[in-house]
C-alpha cells in the first residue's frame, strides 16, 4: 500500500498536498515526497521517514507551485531509501510520477529502455513508468504518451503524473489500485481515498480500472486507454468527521482488519537484520539470559490469550522450549510454581488489562523475569515488565481486537526464531526459510483481504443463524477459538471453538442441517488428513461447512459448501492468514445484523477491572 494525492489549482498547492498526505499516512510511511511545477521545472523534496519527520527536515511548504503530486510509501520494490522514495522522474526531467501498485513487467521494460540509454536512479518499478512516458514524448502529446505507456505496463497502478512542459495538466490513472477524483472550485484533486481531500471538496468521481483522467484547474475529463471520452457521475459525499477518521471504512473494525498488511510490515521492520532477530533497547534481555530460560509461561486475556496459545505451538514445535499458557485471571489466584529459569510473557494490546497487570505483579513476587508483548507505549504493563516488545499495530479503536492479534502472532514468531537460534533447534537454512516466509506475509494478507466475495456470501446466507461451530487443529485450534470469539462479541451470535477431533466427544450432537461449521483447515503434514475426516463427519450429519483451505486444495472444496482460500505458507504462519477471513466473516455478519460493531454491548476496549 502507498498513498498518492495530486492537486491542480489557481493557487499554491503545497499546503493542500501536505494535509492530504497526512490523512493518507495509514497507507504507508516509510518515506514521503512531493513535487510541484514552478516555471516549467519540477521542484521535488523527498526523504525516508514518517511524514512529519521528513517535513521537519525538508519543509514541504517551502515548495511553491499551482500544480503538484505527493506520495507516502510502503515499500514493495526497492528498499527504504531516499532514491526509492517517490516522486520519480524520467532522465530528461520531463515527467514526474507517483504510484501505488506493482508493475509486473517492469524489469523487461527497464531492460529495453536501458538499451536506449535511459539511466535509472532508483530500484523501483515506478521509475520505469516515468522513463517510458518520457520516451513517448518525442512522438506523442503528453496525454497520448501516457496512454501508450499504460497500454504497455502490466500490473496494478494508481498514478499521478505531471509533465514539466504542460504545467496546467495533472493526469491520474488507475488499474486495480484505488484512485478517486475530487472536483473543487477553481481546483481539482486526485487521491487514493476520499477522506484525504474531504476538507477540500465532497464532490467525488470514481475512476474505474483502465481509465485515465486529465485534470486542469477548471475541468476534469476521463478517457479510456483508446482516448475515447467517458462521461462520469459526480457523487456528493456526506461523511462526518468520525467517518473521515475511519478513512472511508464504515467501522474502525473493518479499517483495522484492512490495516493488517501494513501493521505486520511495521512490526517486522528493523527487527530482522542479516538473518538475526533484533528487538531493540526496550527488549532488555541478553542472549546469555535467554539461553538459560528453560520454561515459558504466557499470560493474557481474551484475544491476547489466544495469541499465547499460538505462541505455545510455535515455541514448543520449533524452539523446543516448554511453554504454558494461562488466563491471567486464573494465574494470579493459583499460587503458580515459578523458578528463576522461567520467563513470564504477558501479552496485551492495551497494556492496561487489570487481570494481566495483577498476574504480572504476582509473577514478580516470585522473582521471575517478565516480558511484555504490548501495543501501547508507556502503558502500565510495559512499565511493570523487565522487557518489552512492541507490536506496531497503531491505535486499535474497534473494541474487537484484530490487527493487534496478528501483530502479536508476528512478534511471537520472531521470538520463536530467536529462541530457536539460541537453542540451536533449527539450522541456518530453516531459519532463513522462516524469515523469508514472514516477509511475504504482508502481501499474502493483502491478497486474502482482496478476496472477500465468498465471505460476503456466507454473511448474507447465515447471519440469522443462532449457533455456529469453529473447528481447527494444531496451530489453528486457537484460531478456531479466536474466530468464534470474534463472531460472539460483535454479532452476539453464539459460537464455540473446538479442536476438530474433540467434536466427536460431545459437540457433534449439536450438528444438524441448520448448523454452520467453520473448519480452519490449511494444508499441513500433521493433521490435514484427519481434518478431512472430521469434515466428512459433519457433512454426513448435514452441517453447513465453511472451510478455510490452502490455495490449490482440490479435496476441501468438494466436501464443503463454501471454501475460502489462503496463500501457501509455513504451517506455523498459516494462523496469521487463516484468522483474517474469520475476522471479516464476524464483521460482515454483525454489520448485516445492524450491530454497533465498534462498540459491542457490554464490552470495553480496555478491561481495567478484575
Name the site residues for ligand F6R (rule: CB under 6 A).
Answer: 301-304, 348-350, 353, 356, 400-401, 485, 489, 606-607
Q: Which is nearer to ligand F6R, 30 or 396 (CB)?
A: 396
Q: Which is nearer to ligand F6R, 192 or 350 (CB)?
A: 350
Give the three cell numbers for residue 510.
449439536
Helix (H/G/I), strand (E/B), else coil: 458: helix
CB of 579 to ligand F6R, least distance (A): 11
- Is there a catalytic annotation at residue 605? yes
CB of 602 to ligand F6R, least distance (A): 12
Which candidate in 2, 35, 374, 458 is catalytic?
A: 2
- Spell out a b/e string for 285-302, using b for 16 or more CB atoms within 10 Å of the CB, else e: beeeebeebebbbbbbbb
The residue with its CB nearest to ligand F6R is 302
What gap in Å lies between CA 44 and CA 164, rounded to an integer?
Answer: 12
Three-state SS for 335-383 is: CCCCCCCEEEEEEECCCCCHHHHHHHHHHHHCCCEEEEEECCCCCHHHH
Helix (H/G/I), strand (E/B), else coil: 15: helix
What gap in Å lies between CA 306 and CA 490, rounded to an integer?
Answer: 17
Q: Which is nearer to ligand F6R, 372 or 431 (CB)?
A: 372
CB of 112 to ligand F6R, least distance (A): 51
- 35 with 96: CB under 8 angstroms? yes
**CA 411 to chain CA mean position, Å:** 15
What gap in Å lies between CA 250 and CA 248, rounded to an integer?
Answer: 6
What gap in Å lies between CA 340 and CA 367, rounded to an integer?
Answer: 7
- Is there a catalytic annotation at residue 374? no
Q: Which is nearer to ligand F6R, 175 or 348 (CB)?
A: 348
Which candidate in 50, 320, 364, 605 is catalytic?
A: 605
Helix (H/G/I), strand (E/B), else coil: 73: strand
Three-state SS for 255-276 is: HHHHCHHHHHHHHHCCCEECCE
What gap in Å lies between CA 208 and CA 222, rounded to an integer?
Answer: 10
CB of 352 to ligand F6R, least distance (A): 7
CB of 438 to ligand F6R, least distance (A): 22
CB of 491 to ligand F6R, least distance (A): 12
Residues assigned a catalytic role:
2, 605
Amino acid at each position: 500500500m502507498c498513498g498518492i494525492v495530486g492537486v491542480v489549482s489557481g493557487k499554491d498547492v503545497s499546503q493542500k498536498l501536505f494535509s492530504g498526505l497526512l490523512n493518507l499516512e495509514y497507507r504507508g510511511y516509510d518515506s514521503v515526497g512531493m513535487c510541484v511545477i514552478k516555471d516549467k521545472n519540477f521542484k521535488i523534496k523527498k526523504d525516508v521517514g514518517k511524514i512529519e519527520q521528513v517535513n521537519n527536515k525538508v519543509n514541504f511548504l517551502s515548495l511553491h507551485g499551482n500544480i503538484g503530486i505527493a506520495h507516502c510509501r510502503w515499500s514493495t520494490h526497492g528498499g527504504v531509501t531516499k532514491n526509492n522514495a517517490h516522486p520519480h522522474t524520467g532522465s530528461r526531467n520531463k515527467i514526474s510520477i507517483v504510484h501505488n501498485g506493482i508493475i509486473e513487467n517492469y524489469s523487461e521494460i527497464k531492460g529495453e529502455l536501458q538499451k536506449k540509454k535511459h539511466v535509472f536512479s532508483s530500484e523501483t518499478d515506478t521509475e520505469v513508468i516515468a522513463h517510458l512516458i518520457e520516451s513517448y514524448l518525442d512522438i506523442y502529446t503528453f496525454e497520448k504518451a501516457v496512454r501508450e505507456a499504460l497500454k504497455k505496463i502490466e500490473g496494478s497502478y494508481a498514478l499521478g503524473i505531471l509533465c514539466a512542459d504542460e504545467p496546467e495538466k495533472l493526469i491520474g490513472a488507475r488499474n486495480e489500485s484505488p484512485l478517486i477524483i475530487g472536483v473543487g472550485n477553481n481546483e481539482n484533486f486526485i487521491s487514493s481515498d476520499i477522506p484525504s481531500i474531504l476538507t477540500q471538496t465532497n464532490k467525488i468521481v470514481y475512476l474505474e480500472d483502465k481509465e485515465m483522467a486529465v485534470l486542469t484547474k477548471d475541468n476534469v475529463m476521463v478517457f479510456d486507454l483508446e482516448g475515447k471520452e467517458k462521461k462520469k457521475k459526480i457523487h456528493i459525499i456526506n461523511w462526518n468527521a468520525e467517518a473521515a477518521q475511519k478513512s472511508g471504512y464504515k467501522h474502525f473494525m473493518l479499517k483495522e482488519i484492512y490495516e493488517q498488511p501494513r501493521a505486520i510490515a511495521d512490526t517486522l521492520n528493523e527487527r530482522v537484520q542479516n538473518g538475526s532477530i533484533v528487538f531493540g533497547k526496550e527488549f532488555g534481555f541478553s542472549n546469555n539470559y535467554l539461553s538459560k530460560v528453560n520454561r515459558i509461561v504466557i499470560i493474557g486475556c481474551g484475544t491476547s490469550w489466544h495469541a499465547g496459545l499460538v505462541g505455545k505451538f510455535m515455541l514448543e514445535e520449533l524452539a523446543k522450549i516448554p511453554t504454558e499458557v494461562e488466563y491471567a485471571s486464573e494465574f494470579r489466584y493459583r499460587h503458580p510454581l515459578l523458578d528463576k529459569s522461567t520467563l513470564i510473557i504477558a501479552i496485551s494490546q492495551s497494556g492496561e488489562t487489570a487481570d494481566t497487570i495483577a498476574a504480572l505483579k504476582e509473577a514478580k513476587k516470585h522473582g521471575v523475569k517478565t516480558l511484555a508483548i504490548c501495543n501501547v507505549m508507556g502503558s502500565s504493563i510495559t512499565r511493570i515488565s523487565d522487557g518489552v516488545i512492541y507490536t506496531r499495530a497503531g491505535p486499535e479503536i474497534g473494541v474487537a481486537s484484530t490487527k493487534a492479534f496478528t501483530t502479536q502472532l508476528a512478534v511471537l514468531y520472531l521470538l520463536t526464531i530467536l529462541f530457536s537460534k539460541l537453542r540451536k533447534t533449527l539450522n541456518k537454512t530453516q531459519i532463513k526459510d522462516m524469515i523469508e516466509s514472514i516477509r511475504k506475509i504482508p502481501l499474502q494478507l493483502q491478497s486474502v483481504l482482496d478476496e472477500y466475495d465468498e465471505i460476503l456470501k456466507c454473511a448474507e446466507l447465515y447471519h440469522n443463524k443462532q449457533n455456529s461451530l469453529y473447528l481447527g487443529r494444531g496451530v489453528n485450534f486457537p484460531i478456531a477459538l479466536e474466530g468464534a470469539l470474534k463472531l460472539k462479541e460483535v454479532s452476539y451470535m453464539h459460537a464455540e471453538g473446538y479442536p476438530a477431533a474433540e467434536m466427536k466427544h460431545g459437540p457433534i450432537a449439536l450438528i444438524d442441517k441448520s448448523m454452520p461449521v467453520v473448519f480452519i483447515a490449511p494444508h499441513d503434514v500433521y493433521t490435514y488428513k484427519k481434518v478431512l475426516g472430521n469434515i466428512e463427519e459433519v457433512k454426513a450429519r448435514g452441517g453447513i461447512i465453511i472451510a478455510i483451505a490452502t490455495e490449490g486444495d482440490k479435496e476441501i472444496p468438494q466436501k464443503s459448501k463454501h471454501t475460502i482460500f489462503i496463500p501457501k505458507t509455513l504451517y506455523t504462519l498459516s494462523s496469521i492468514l487463516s484468522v483474517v477471513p474469520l475476522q471479516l466473516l464476524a464483521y460482515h455478519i454483525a454489520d448485516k445484523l445492524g450491530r454497533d460493531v465498534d462498540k459491542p454491548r457490554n464490552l470495553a476496549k480496555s478491561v481495567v477491572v478484575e
